[in-house]
Amino acid sequence: MSSSPPSRLPGPTAWAALVFLGLTTATWWPHTDLGDSQLYQVVSRHMVEDGSWLALRYLPDVHPRFFEHLPFGFWPFALVIRLFGEPALRPLCAAFSLGTLLLTGSVARRAAGTWAGVTAMLVLSFPDGFFIRGGHPFLEPLLLLLATASAVPPLLGTPRARDWLVCGLLAAGACAVKGPFGLLPFAGATVARALVDRSWKVLVVGTLVGVAATVPTVLFLATHADWWEGYVRHQVLASAAGERTDGQLSWYVPWRTVVSRFWPGLPLLTAGGVLALGRPARAFRALLPEGTRDEAQVRRSARVLLLASLFILTALCLPSRKVWNHSLVVFPLLAMLVGVGVGPWLEARLTPPERARRARLGLAVLALTVLAASAAGAGRLLFPRPCPASGTLAPELADVPPGASVLVVSPRHEWTTVAAFAVERRWSPWRLTELGSGLAPGGPSEARVAFVADGAPVSDPAWHEVGRDGRWRLLRRP
């Protein structure tokens, strides 16, 4: 009897990883004005220039002392800039995000088979919040890697002593990157494991490990009065009490984020819910065919993932001020839940070798299509109009050197425009609501270039218009 030759195609996990890499690198080629990532890049650049790991700064006019986030999440950025330059930041973040993707696939695969892992990876790859932020210097790539890794042992089973130690170290790193949000995946996985296993020991030990994970960050804050004042009082506590003006106050923001951004995985979450609850019975039996290997383990994994996700989303509703990207910490667990939910059904359907080969071929076509679209510049469709310095006004700005003061005159804050000027042109932007003759001494009075948005008044006749791009006018003075 002859057997078919082994496939020379890479495994389905490799193709799923290439899908993500194609999506995230598609965001590298077009002009992108991603305000927060540009802000963080400038902060990291200044860390290298200043030779400081703890005293962070952004711009003289915006966050001259930067306390919006703890400094530790910027350390990898500063190190990479020092060693390889700023262009290496995107590959670094893509590597962090790829690690999160592989962890997500690994948990689903160990719980429900190969195709569960592949499905989880694909489901996590496609939400724009993951693949766009995953390849740029946001804090989420490192945060999600550490936070997801800290939750893996309790998601897979009852942790042993060595597992608890690893969880604590990883959770401590995640807490150091983004405070309490870094602890949520570990806390959710621990509570869920304790409930499913009906184990007080898991809950008590997990709580002690979680508290211990906060100790390094708390010690740092307690011994650095400036960070305690700037980060704890004016960031964490102000956000919890709703005293800050940014963000949203609606309690359901985390749930709305999942509904609006967790696509195409959102409808598939029902499969994970059916396996976790065991109802409706007909759908349950269709998703978990007779003869499924380790049926009890699959069901327990679905319950743990469902409870952990619900815990995280509920906890995210507690602070008065909410920002949508905080909800990204639950996306890997939701993707695992989808993978576990549809994995057994896919395993049964793809048991025949010919069907499995076709599925691998389909994944290969998908990955190669995404990579080709990325190389062809499809990422341009994802981003709005670039900042005014990168469009038709660029020739008029060729003589404006790095470090020059420029004015951004608008009734709005224009954070994205300011960030783009700082990171791309290395200018020093100053924000004004009107352009008059009485400019403040220092940077504003030295500026010879001004970007004036529609609706912003100009009363100083020394300024004259030299160009326009959309709603922006470019003004210069001798």
H helix and E strand count, the chain: 20, 5
| CA separation for the pair 175, 447 (Å, rounded) | 41
Q: CA–CA separation, 94 vs 288, rounded Å?
A: 35
Q: What is the pLDDT of residue 321?
A: 86
Per-residue pLDDT of the chain (478 residues; tens, 9 = 90+): 344 455 566 799 999 999 999 999 999 988 888 889 999 999 999 999 999 999 999 999 899 999 999 999 999 999 999 999 999 999 999 999 999 999 999 999 999 999 999 999 999 999 999 999 999 999 999 999 999 999 999 999 999 999 999 999 999 999 999 999 999 999 999 999 999 999 999 999 999 999 999 999 999 999 999 999 999 998 889 888 877 777 788 999 999 999 999 999 999 999 999 999 999 999 999 999 887 778 889 999 999 999 999 999 999 999 988 999 999 999 999 999 999 999 999 999 998 999 999 999 999 999 999 999 999 999 888 887 778 888 889 999 999 999 999 999 999 989 999 999 999 999 999 999 999 988 888 889 999 999 999 989 999 999 999 999 889 999 999 8
- Check: CB of residue 271 under 8 Å from CB of residue 164: no
Nearest one of 257, 156, 247, 159 to 210, comparing CA atoms? 159
Query: At how many degrees (to 10) do helices 200-222 and 184-197 cross?
Result: 160
pTM above 0.85, yes or no: yes
207 and 194 Cβ atoms separated by less than 8 Å = no
pLDDT (0 to 100) of residue 6: 53
For 101-138, letters b (16+ CB in 10 Å) and e give bbbbbbbbbbbbbbbbbbbbbbbbbbbebbbbbbbbbb
Please report, for residues 21, 31, 95, 149, 385, the alpha-carbon distance to residue 131 in angstroms, rounded to integers and kept in the order given.
Answer: 8, 16, 12, 18, 20
**CB–CB of 393/472 below 8 Å?**
yes
pLDDT for position 437: 85
Instruction: Name the strand (E) or helix (H) holding 389.
Output: none
Residue 463's Cβ-count burial label (10 Å; 0-12, 13-18, 19+) is buried
With beta carbons less than 8 A apart as the criterion, state whether 38 and 422 touch.
Answer: yes
What is the per-residue pLDDT for 8?
61
Q: How far apart are CA 438 and CA 384, in angstroms?
A: 35
